[in-house]
Amino acid sequence: MKIQLIKHINNKTLSALAVVLFASTSLAHGKKPDVSPLVVYAPSSYTSSYGPSKLLTKLFYKQYHAKIKWIGLDGSTTIITRLKLEGKKSKADAVVEMADPIIQTLNQNSYLKTIDPKTFPAIAIHKKAYDSKHYIPIETGQLAFVYNNKKIKNPPKSIADLANSKYKVILEDPRFSGTGISFLYWVDSIYKKKTTQILQQLMKHTITQKTWDDSYNMFLKGESDFVLSYATSPAYHILEEHNNNYSATMFTHGNLETNYYAGILKTSKHPQLATNFIKMLLSKEGQEIISRKNYALPVIKEKISIDKSLLKYKNTQLSVTPAYIRTNKKRLQRLWLNLK
Amino acid sequence: MKSVICACISIAISLGISACLGLEFDSYLWGTLRFSVIESLLTAFICVILGFFLSLAIFRQFSSYAKIITAVLTVSTLIPSIFIVIMIINNFGRSGVLTRYLHIPFNNYVYGLPGILYALVFMNLIFMIKTSLNILFNIPDENWKLAQQLDLKAIHLFNIFYKNILKESVKRSSFFIFLMCFSAFTIILALGGSPKNSTLQVVVYEYIYDDFNMKKALAISILQAGIIMALIFLIPQKSNMILDNKGSNFNTNHKYDSKFISSKIMDYSVFIVVIFIFILPVCISILRDLMNINSWSILISPQFISALIHSLITSFFATLISVILGFAILLNIQHHKHMDKIINISTMLFYIIPSFALAVILFEILSPFISIDTTPFILVSLINGIISTSVFIYIVYPGFQQSNNIYGNLSRNLNISWSVRLVKIHMFYINKPLRFAISIIFCWTMGDMNIIALFGNGENTTLAYLAYELMSKYQTDKAELVGLFIFMLSLFIVLIVNYQRGQAK
């Protein structure tokens, strides 16, 4: 009780000090701050102490003198569930890090505000990949299989090679993971009628895990030779652990492009601030922060400095259209569930 | 015959409602249904056999440590399943300690039915052990004296005492173990290895996660409930012994058959098997976590301290809410004719409907009164508290009913207020189950990952959620240490709350 009281007093004192400091800083700059913060829903990978949220909050304040209240949820599927639960009562202004299969199958008209792409910096990603007036890409990457290059010297050259090999593989479950369902799009876009055959062959030496986190952790524990991840994943090991033992496959048929998006919610009470937030994400500094903290590639045309390790495994890019994602999701999930 | 008809009707009704709600009975659904039944039946069977012989061994050779053994095993059911999975992978996986050092390819069996069975037996064995031990320790001393006077041999003792105890234990706990496995989710997804090894519970999650299709999720839950109801009709149910809360005298005086050579051989063989299969991997995992000095920094980090404080506060309020609600319900409907059945069914629903789905339903009901984003920790506590109320009632009700049967009419005639009745009369009978209920609800909410994931705000995270975040940032070693801390803290809480003077053991 005493501790709580002390904590309470301390909190009050700190809050008062913060208000005084904040007010004096604002007066010094001669600008009136927007008091209510922008509420942003993001995956916990964004908001945890390791994610980009803290740096982005600082940048947003520097650029627009406004605060962000991040609500970290455990993934983009949970964000959607939460939005559906809240309905019109939602106090969120914006969402970030929505993967292709998630945002394409969301009824965007009901949840997301129309945005004008001209308001934002020019995007380098081909328009076909995100043809919508409701969301905008903030980071990109490529799907790839990650492996230990000290153990595997001659990695397979294609998905078919991998399927016909005896290597142990970990895949994310397409029922629960955006990465998992994206893999099915990747196989289907290359092998078309042979998709079932390839998947059946691959599943003979493959185990599935619920999410990307579970899969990658299992891989790091040595449970498989290959794991479905991203071409930028080895960069994490290089930059954080100074470990060059991990590589990503560069298949001859190309690697599937995966984009992550941000959108402004229809329920937003600060639409202008939310627009500024996305502008900040797409600014040079914003893109650098996202790239560095999320190990992803930038999406803007403007040249920014990113670590070379992020581009080490960039391969020929394959992409699928939003319409293809929407119409084929259920078919591919069923196909996968009924594999013999 | 009557029970068979009732079972058929309950399955027919659930199938009918599920079909009306748009559920498609394709090969995938039938496959998951078949797998759900097979894995649950096999786990229940293994738990019953192994659990009985293990409790017999504890009873005969280590009766003084029975209480501490059951406390440790109870806690293993309260920590998040993901830590059990990690322990299995660390030992039996491709690079697992036992696979490497014993040169046995355990990894070929970790994913699929064998791995699932191992994990589920590990988590549910305690229910059989607790039930069997309670019955064994409650055998009157006179019976043992008589057996000694008659110079009964091991085989006779088995036929006279133990066979009936086995039957009784099976009746009391096998159905509950089946139920727990029938609603397994995390273990199935982590160790299943492929969509072929899915359960109905996985399909419920699939509909909620993938489509937010509550209608179909409800249809599957109704189908599950129908099957469980059918089993309730078919299997003769024995009183409320699921969580076995009556406790026992733990009378350790008798040592009659513990000195038989045959008993010793059997008991120590069971111990050796259990030590090698279950205890050794746990010890290796704990040692591995403790020896990883680099990970220790997490235990003094600000995130950890903050998560610990939030976990304790959230669990405290959730437990408080379930105790208040539980007593309010018990005091108001204690005279209801079908109270036993109501409690059984509500507890059954608690176990078969995923907490994620329950939280969503509950939030829909509470949404006119509470906002999702104002105070996430209150919402998390409230939902956890409401969900665990049925468990509270389930554990406390037998003692409550007993005191009511004895003093109910008298206290009504004397016009004693409910508060006096609760403190002066009921408390004597419910003291022990009340402590047990409080400790397990507290620990259960501390290990919750689903509700905090949906209603949390990322700032006020809990210990279990912190572990989850660490895992998603490639820091599995630190996550495991947080898991170990949750386990130790839960064990400490269970032992302290259930400690009574004179029963230190």
Asked if pLDDT for residue A279 goes beyond 90, the answer is: yes
Q: What's residue A17's pLDDT?
A: 41
Average confidence score pLDDT of chain B: 81
Number of domains in chain B: 2
CB-CB under 8 Å, A218 with B454 = no
pLDDT at B384 over 90: no
Average pLDDT rounded to a whole number, residues B47-76: 86
- A151 pLDDT higher than 60: yes
At residue A325's C-alpha, the angle toward residues A322 and A329, to 5°, is 160
Within-domain flag for B3: no
The answer on pLDDT for A264 being more than 70 is yes
| Minimum mean pLDDT range among A152-156, B78-82, B259-263, B456-460 | B456-460
Chain B hits for A218, Cβ within 8 Å: 89, 93
* Pair B275, B300 in one domain: no
The CATH number assigned to the domain holding B118 equals 1.10.3720.10
Sort residue B22 into left (φ over 0), alpha (ψ -120 to 50) or beta. left
The structure tokens 């019953």 sit at: B48
Residues B351 and B496 in one domain: yes
Mutate which: A104, A175, A238, A339, vs B, most B CBs within 10 A: A175
The runs of H, that is alpha helices, within B21-112 are 27-61, 66-76, 81-92, 97-102, 107-110
Residues B450, B329 share a domain: yes
Whether B336 and B378 share a structural domain:
yes
Cβ-based neighbours of B339, under 8 Å, separated by 6 or more: B333, B397, B401
pLDDT at B241 (0 to 100): 43
Q: How confident is the model at residue A29 (pLDDT cuts 50, 70, 90)?
A: very low
Q: What is the pLDDT of residue A244?
A: 95
Average pLDDT, chain A: 85
Question: Is residue A299 pLDDT above 80, yes or no?
Answer: yes
Mutate to test the interface with A, among B209, B215, B450 (most CBs of A within 10 A): B209
Chain B residues 65-94 with a CB less than 8 Å from chain A: 89-90, 93-94
Q: Who has greater pLDDT, B252 or B457?
A: B457
Residue from the list B190, B363, B459 with its beta carbon closest to the beta carbon of A210: B190
Residues B247, B322, single domain; the answer is no
CB-nearest partner of A213 from B373, B456, B471: B471
Rounded CA separation B436/B430 (Å):
10
Please give the pLDDT value at position B332.
77
Based on the domain organization, do B265 and B335 belong to the same domain?
no
pLDDT more than 90, % of chain B: 11
Of B303, B364, B454, the CB nearest to A82: B454
Give domain status of residue B394, yes or no.
yes
In degrees rounded to 5, what are phi and psi of residue A99?
-75, 160
- 3-state class of A162 per DSSP? helix
pLDDT of residue A15 exceeding 50, the answer is no
Q: What pLDDT is recorded for position B293?
A: 82
Per-residue confidence at A16, pLDDT binned at 50, 70, 90?
very low
Please report which confidence band the pLDDT of residue B308 belongs to, taking 50, 70 and 90 as the band edges.
Answer: very high
Containing H/E element for A38? strand A34-43
Write down the pLDDT at residue A102.
Answer: 85
Residue B450: pLDDT band (50, 70, 90) is: low
Q: Summarize pLDDT for A73-123 with one digit per residue, the tens.
A: 877 877 888 888 778 878 899 999 998 888 887 777 788 999 888 888 888
Please give the residue range of the domain that contains residue B134.
38-192+240-291
Chain B, 201-230: which have a CB under 8 Å from a chain A CB?
202, 205-206, 208-210, 212
Same domain, B263 and B389: no
User: What pLDDT, on the 0 to 100 scale, is given for residue B375?
Assistant: 58
Paired sense of beta strands A94-99 and A66-73, if any: unpaired
Average pLDDT over residues B84-100: 87
Are B273 and B305 found together in one domain? no
Which residue's structure tokens are 């009419």?
Answer: B409
Lowest mean pLDDT among A29-43, A312-326, B272-286: A29-43
pLDDT band of residue A13 (cuts 50, 70, 90) is very low
Whether A86 contacts A263, CB under 8 Å: no
- Per-residue pLDDT, B454: 67
For the segment A225-248, the average pLDDT, to the nearest whole number, is 94
Same domain, B45 and B157: yes
The pLDDT value given to residue A287: 95
Domain boundary among B269, B291, B313: B291
Give the model's pLDDT for residue B372.
58
* B447 at interface of A, judged by CB pairs closer than 8 A: no
Measured between CA atoms, the residue of chain B closest to residue A77 is: B209
Residue B416 lies in a domain: yes
Q: How confident is the model at residue A1 (pLDDT cuts 50, 70, 90)?
A: very low
> Which domains does chain A carry?
33-140+259-303 (3.40.190.10), 141-257+313-337 (3.40.190.10)
pLDDT digit string (tens) for B327-383?
A: 888 877 766 666 766 776 677 666 666 666 777 777 777 777 766 555 567 777 888
Local confidence band at B268 (pLDDT 50, 70, 90 cut-offs): very high
- Is B217 among the domain residues? no
Considering the domain architecture, whether residues B358 and B319 belong to the same structural domain is answered as: yes
- Min Cα distance A6 → chain B (Å) is 15
The predicted pLDDT at position B213 comes to 80
Please say if the pLDDT value at position A23 is more than 70: no
Q: Chains A, B: CB contacts under 8 A, how many?
A: 124
In this predicted structure, the answer to whether residue A217 has a pLDDT above a threshold of 60 is yes
Tell me if A73 and B111 make a contact (CB, 8 A cut-off): no
Q: What is the pLDDT of residue A35?
A: 63
User: What pLDDT, on a 0 to 100 scale, did the predictor assign at position B352?
Assistant: 65
Q: Which residues of B touch A80 (CB under 8 A)?
A: 212
Would you say residue B45 lies in a domain?
yes
Q: Is the pLDDT of residue A62 over 90?
A: yes
Q: For the residues A20-44, what does the mean pLDDT come to?
A: 60
Identify the band that residue B19 occupies on the pLDDT scale cut at 50, 70 and 90. confident
B374 and B322 in a common domain: yes
Beta bridge partners of A148: A246
Together in a domain, B299 and B183 = no
Residue B20 placed within a domain: no
Closest CA to B248 of B170, B401, B135: B135
Cα–Cα nearest to B178, from B5, B30, B352, B392: B352
Query: Looking at the predicted structure, is the pLDDT value of residue B456 above 70?
Result: no
